Every structure is written in structure tokens, then in C-alpha cells.
Amino acid sequence: MDKTASETERIRNKLVRELSAMYDATDEQILEAIEPYLNAMYLDDDTARANKRLRHARNNGLDELIDIFTAYILLANERAIAQINAAMNNVAGINYEHVHSSVEKKTGVDIGGTADAYKASKYSRRAYDRATQSKYVSDAVMDEIKKGVRAGESAKEIKRRIRKVADISRNSAKNTAVTETTRIRSESRLDAMKEARKNGVEMVKIWRHSPYVKEPREWHQNLEGAEMPLDEPFVVDGVEMQAPGDPNGGAKNNCYCRCFLDEEVISWR
């Protein structure tokens, strides 16, 4: 594994740690802010029907609780998006420069160009919508609280439900951080290889399987060392992918994938 691949892993791991810490702090802020509402909503009446419990909750701060939760989660999600995009621009830059430097060292050709920053700012549309749309967040927590209230659960039990909803955003951010790192690393390296080709340097792309994966995909392991011309796809479990992280691979190939793209110069003029 080259030094840039190791540095990319360092960036990715640091990002995941920072996101986890940020969501931990948000959880504590949420629970502290909603504690009075949870206590007021609780109806200590074993004979009360579900609808009565829900009416009592609505009359004692349920909507306010939802608004507070949603505001905190949306703020955390916006921060996560900013952190991810900043890290991805860093990943794009160092990986483009890696190919640039290795080509120049071997061939003496300066391929020029820079990492395509706009690619590093492309956030998964579905993940972005879920992270930033208040209706999605408020509907999710409302559904969980209603279930708990109707079941006569205690404030402590409903807190667990609220944490579960918060974890949706946490896990989505972590998945995006890992998965987007793979995509951006591949795209920036492939961009640099194509730029080298414009300058008379012919290269092949090489699929590398990361040693850092605890539960590897067997079909990704089988691709270790596979070489392809720049414009031809790898066939990954029956799916054509230009590189690790290619959106065409879908979730089964991309979620938490840490494979990466390597390169080799084969000729130059």
C-alpha cells in the first residue's frame, strides 16, 4: 500500500471519530433539553388506553419535544455534511497529487491539472435529503415516541427510542464518510490517469483490496491486482464498475468498502 493510501485511511478514520464525537455530544444535548417534556408527557395510569395516553402527551409538550429534537439533529447533520465535504476535498487533492508525482518521477512528464473539487462536494442525494429535511427527521422521531406512549412506556424507555432515531443520522454519516472516501479517492486517481494520457502517458488501473477490512467481500478480495485499461470497467460480482466506489456498484459493493485504485505506467512519449 502506497503512502497516500495510508494517509487516506488516516483521514477517513479521523473523520469517523470526529463524527462519532459530534453525535455523542448532540445526544447529550438532546436528552437534557427534552427531559422536562418527557416527564410531563408520562401518564401514570395503567388503565389508560393508548389514545388517551397520546392525547395527554400532545397536551403536555409532544410537539415541542419533536421540534427540539429535529432542530438539534438537523444542526448536527449539517455539521456532518460540512466535515465530510472538507475531508473529501483533502482526499481528492492528495490522491490526484499522488498520481501526478508518480508519473512525473517515472516519466518526467508533468501532467498538470488539479483534483476536481466539485466531485468531492457531491453528497449522496438520498443521504443528503434524509440528513437535511426536517420532515423526515420529525416523522421518524414522532413515530417512535407514539409507539412508546401508546404502549405506556416510561420516560427512560422512550429515551431509548429517541436515541435509536438519532442513531439513524449517526450511522448514515459514518457510512457516508467511509463510502465517499473510497469513491473520491478512486475518481481523483482516475482523473489524474486520464490527464496523464492526454500528455502521452499510457497507464492501466489496478484494483487493490484494503487490508483494513474486518469483514471483506470475497468478490472484492478476488479482484486484488486486477488490471484494466482506463476506460474499461472491472466486472465486480457481475456488475461493471470503473473503480472502487463507483456508484454503479450499488450498496452491495460500496457500503463501507475500503478498496482503492492503484496505477501503473506502461508507456510514454
Q: Which residues contact 85 (CB under 8 A, 6 or more apart)?
A: 120, 121, 123
- pLDDT score of 119: 55
| pLDDT score recorded for residue 151 | 86
pLDDT tens digit sequence for 141-182: 999 999 998 888 888 899 999 999 999 889 988 988 999 999
Kindly write down the DSSP assignment for every residue of 63-91, as one continuous string. Answer: HHHHHHHHHHHHHHHHHHHHHHHHHHHHH
| pLDDT over 90 at 263, yes or no | yes
Host H or E run for residue 199 = none
The answer on pLDDT for 132 being more than 90 is no
Higher pLDDT, 2 or 14: 14
Phi-psi region of 255 (alpha: psi -120 to 50; beta: other; left: phi over 0): beta
Question: How far apart are the C-alpha atoms of 77 and 82, rounded to whole Å?
Answer: 9
**3-17 residue pLDDT tens:** 898 899 999 999 999
β-partners of residue 201 are 268
pLDDT at 123 over 60: no
Q: What is the pLDDT of residue 13?
A: 95
pLDDT of residue 118: 44
Residue 39 — pLDDT band, cuts 50, 70, 90?
confident
CA distance 245 to 19: 21
Cell of residue 41, nine digits: 408527557
> Is a pLDDT exceeding 70 seen at residue 241?
yes
Residue 47 has pLDDT above 80, yes or no: no
Average pLDDT of the chain to the nearest whole number: 88
Q: Which residue has the cell 438532546?
A: 30
Q: Which helix (H) or strand (E) holds 207?
A: strand 201-208
pLDDT of residue 230 exceeding 80, the answer is: yes
Query: For 108, left (φ over 0), alpha (ψ -120 to 50), or beta?
Result: left
Hey, what amino acid is at 142? M
Mean pLDDT of 33-57: 83
Least confident of 41-50, 113-122, 178-187, 207-216: 113-122
Confidence of residue 126 (pLDDT cuts 50, 70, 90): low
Per this entry, what is the length of the chain?
269
Tens digit of each residue's pLDDT (9 = 90 or more) over 83-95 = 998 898 899 999 9
**Residue range 114-126: average pLDDT?**
54
Q: Which is higher by pLDDT, 251 or 123?
A: 251
Measuring CA to CA, how many Å separate 231 from each of 24, 134, 153, 227? 43, 41, 58, 12
Instruction: Name the residue among 253, 206, 246, 202 with its Cα closest to residue 226.
Output: 206
Q: For residue 14, what is its C-alpha cell? A: 479521523
- Segment 81-109 shows an average pLDDT of 91
